[in-house]
Amino acid sequence: MSRYENQITILSDYLEEFPETDEPVWILGRQHHLNTDKSKLLLDVSARLWFTYRRKFSPIGGTGPSSDAGWGCMLRCGQMMLAQALICRHLGRDWQWEKHKKQPEEYHRILRCFLDRKDCCYSIHQMAQMGVGEGKSIGEWFGPNTVAQVLKKLALFDEWNSLAVYVSMDNTVVIEDIKKMCWCPAQSSSVAHSSAHLHRSALGQSNELIYLDPHTTQSFVDSEENGTVDDESFHCQQAPHRMKIMNLDPSVALGFFCKEECDFDNWCSLVQKEILKQQSLRMFELVQKHPPHWPPFIPPSKPEVTTTGAELIESTDKLFELEEEFEILSV
């Protein structure tokens, strides 16, 4: 009974955080009305996978940091964006999470992709070490574009989800390039990441944003022997943060998930009709053909190796160590 009363108190405090308004609230494409279904909005927010700073995980690279507090926030945001795509891919947008409720195996498999271990394909370890190739030292803060580039590379080793990750260039999404990439035999689904600059003059003064904040440090959580994950800390069960849209940093990454080609065609049509028809400054452009003055588009492909992504990174580290030893001996 005490536990039940505490849950009711938390729920009441959570709902009181929302202002009284007749305007609809949108959560990742789903519309909610605060006057009639606040509880559904709560469930929708808490169902999103929430990735935050963690501590006490195995040191990155063997001797690196064992916590990402202070530098991993953008990497965690990238994890949240990609995790939502995987939820839609395997469970559907209407899937909901409930505390202590048994979840399907696909859910736990998705969560295991993001655990803080070097052998998990989208872990903080993999992202930090793959970022070295993008010019970022381990422990250095990433920007939105770097996160998108890192996820694109890591997705090449993710055979289960079979994602084709497209990162736009110069804020321009090229339909021809995306279809070329997604029609490759090894790919069946697509995630389009668009790095864009937000133009403040095109926004209203009162539209607020609801967001999940990664700036909370929690302890490392590993999977159980049976493959399940104690997942309570991966779902935000407190009042979500809100901010004025005008306070949003102008450097952002937008992520769109299209499961099938018809979904992508519908997205293009929606963007052209509802966004690009506006004559004001735009966050990004959508064009049919590859611009002739750009370098040729070559779909990314998995390196010709027989190792996993984690083993590839480890072998690359060893290569660097041998090169350093050779340089020392040469001197």
Distance in angstroms (rounded) separating the CA atoms of residues 76 and 80:
6
- Residue 178 CA, chain-centre distance (Å), reads 19
H helix count then E strand count, the chain: 9, 11
Q: What is the C-alpha to C-alpha distance for residues 57 and 138, in angstroms, rounded to an integer?
A: 15
Determine contact, residues 297/177, Cβ cutoff 8 Å: yes
The residue among 172, 196, 166 whose CA lies nearest residue 285 is 172
Q: Are residues 112 and 231 in contact, defined by beta-carbon separation less than 8 angstroms? A: no
CA end-to-end distance (rounded Å), the chain:
73
Q: How far apart are CA 250 and CA 197, in angstroms?
A: 5
**Quick check: 299 and 180 in contact, CB under 8 A?**
yes
Per annotation, catalytic residue among 37, 119, 197, 213:
213
Q: What's the DSSP call for residue 306?
A: S
88: annotated active-site residue: no
> Burial code of 256-276, b = ≥16 C-beta within 10 A, e = fewer?
bbbbeeeebeebbeebeeeeb
Residue among 73, 77, 88, 121 flagged as catalytic: 73
**Which of 13, 215, 222, 241 is flagged as catalytic?**
215
Strand-pair category, 241-244 with 53-55: unpaired
**Which of helix, strand or coil describes residue 299?**
coil
Active site residue 213: yes
Catalytic, 120? Answer no
CA–CA separation, 85 vs 89, rounded Å? Answer: 6
Please identify every residue annotated as catalytic.
Answer: 73, 213, 215
